[in-house]
Amino acid sequence: MARPEGLPRVLVCTGKGGVGKTTTAAALGIDAAREGARTLVMSTDGAHSLGDALAVDLHSGPVLVEERLTAEHVSAAHGLSDAWRVVQDYLLGLLGDVGIDPAVAEELTSLPGADEIAALVTLRERVRADEWDVVIVDCAPTAETLRLLALPDSLSWHLRRWLPQGSTWRPAAAAALGVPMPGPAVLEAITRWHDQMTDLKGVLRAPGSTIRLVTTPEKVVTAEARRTWTSLSLFGFTVDAVHVNRIFPTGPDWLSGWNRAQAEGLEEVHRSFTGIPIVAMPYLPEEPIGPDALARLAISCAEVRLTRDRPVGAASTAPLTVTETAQGYTLSVLVPFVAAADVSLGRRGDDLLIDVAGQHRVVTLPAALAPLTVDGAGVRDGRLVVTFARDDRVIA
């Protein structure tokens, strides 16, 4: 199965949101493994539904799903932050020299697209590991995939300008900006990324690396798939098949099976989202295209109709509330379906940094809370509750 040059067969699944990319990637992975290929299915999608599709828990690293099939969610935590820190310190120094406020500089130098870069670095490692015959990548919806696939090109171009060229020891960017030369550790980090991205550029376009477009048989979805094909071709990627998902089979048992499954699914939705309105939208006999058809679909949404003077949401679901207490304040953030173990907190100046199962959120604290100290935090009834105390009341 392995290709002559030792690279695995690399397949990237992309398509519009919700069409079945993850399902297709997982299905192709199972099939390849059962046909004898050592197969890795990796998800670069922050939504991380690959584990759900395969019915395995991928939160703590790669999992052997069955013989020859491994699945993995790529997380941004992948050692990238340490490497970036070296570069960031250099950039912070530069910005500090020209008098930029440290807090602003920190924001300016935080790594853009960190998740995507982590995904690419991991993909390259896996492809070069010589462990797999087939590597399938389950991507986030189209726009993100295009960005992801284009990133090695643009990133290697940008990084090159920070590397010394030929006989000049001074990188073009540093010379042009008249800023101090980056130190060896910075150059080392940039060189490594540059080499990895350049390698990946080649790997993604090598014969045997292809893209699968997943679509459903609806005009709107197909239109996007068509545009994606154009963009991918433009970037030099090969689409070797289009999967049209969710075609209704014909046959008497088919609909009753779905009716049962959907009734159970709907009950589950009601159990899960207590306190907020649930809107059941019918699968219409045809695609709702155009204002009239959309208006007919909107009839089912009357309960949550958007009008100018209608209040938004119920108080119980307000995403963020602040209440004054005897000791200080309590900040409460909606984090449904999360256990305390999945939450970690940090503080950076006036910002509260909340990490919930790998998702980062920065809450800039209101003026009343900013000078106070966090003296407790917990998860209760789907909310993260953080208590702030005035310094003089904090008990060590």
Residue numbers of the site for ligand ATP (CB under 6 A)? 15, 17-23, 45, 47, 49, 53, 141, 245-246
- Asked whether position 216 contacts Mg ion by CB under 5 A, the answer is no
Least Å distance, CB 11 to Mg ion, is 15
Q: Which stretch binds Mg ion (CB under 5 A): 21-29, 207-215, 222-230, 312-320?
A: 21-29
Nearer residue to ligand ATP within complex by CB, 23 or 156: 23
Residue 319 interaction partner, one of ligand ATP, Mg ion, none, beta carbon < 5-8 Å per kind? none
Q: Which of 8, 20, 22, 40 binds Mg ion (CB under 5 A)?
A: 22
Residue 245 interaction partner, one of ligand ATP, Mg ion, none, beta carbon < 5-8 Å per kind? ligand ATP
Least Å distance, CB 44 to Mg ion, is 10
Nearer residue to ligand ATP within complex by CB, 51 or 152: 51
N- to C-terminal Cα separation, the chain: 62
Nearer residue to ligand ATP within complex by CB, 47 or 185: 47
Pick out residues in 40-59 that bind Mg ion (CB under 5 A).
49
Bridge partner residues of 244 (DSSP)? 215
Residue 198 interaction partner, one of ligand ATP, Mg ion, none, beta carbon < 5-8 Å per kind? none
**DSSP states of 257-310:** HHHHHHHHHHHHHHHHTTTS--------SS---SHHHHHHHHGGGGGG---TTS
- Asked whether position 196 contacts Mg ion by CB under 5 A, the answer is no
Nearer residue to ligand ATP within complex by CB, 177 or 280: 280
Which of 1, 2, 26 is closest to 13 using CA atoms?
26
Element (H, E) at 383: strand 383-389
Least Å distance, CB 18 to ligand ATP, is 4
Exposure b/e, 197-233, CB count within 10 A at least 16 = b: bbebbebbbeebbbbbbbbbebeebbebbeebeebbe
Residue 51 interaction partner, one of Mg ion, ligand ATP, none, beta carbon < 5-8 Å per kind? none
Nearer residue to ligand ATP within complex by CB, 198 or 245: 245
Nearer residue to ligand ATP within complex by CB, 140 or 331: 140
Exposure b/e, 321-337, CB count within 10 A at least 16 = b: eeeeeeebbbbbbebee
- Which residues are CB-contacts of 323 (< 8 A; sequence separation ≥ 6)? 329, 330, 332
Q: Which residues would be at the binding site for Mg ion (CB under 5 A)?
A: 21-22, 49
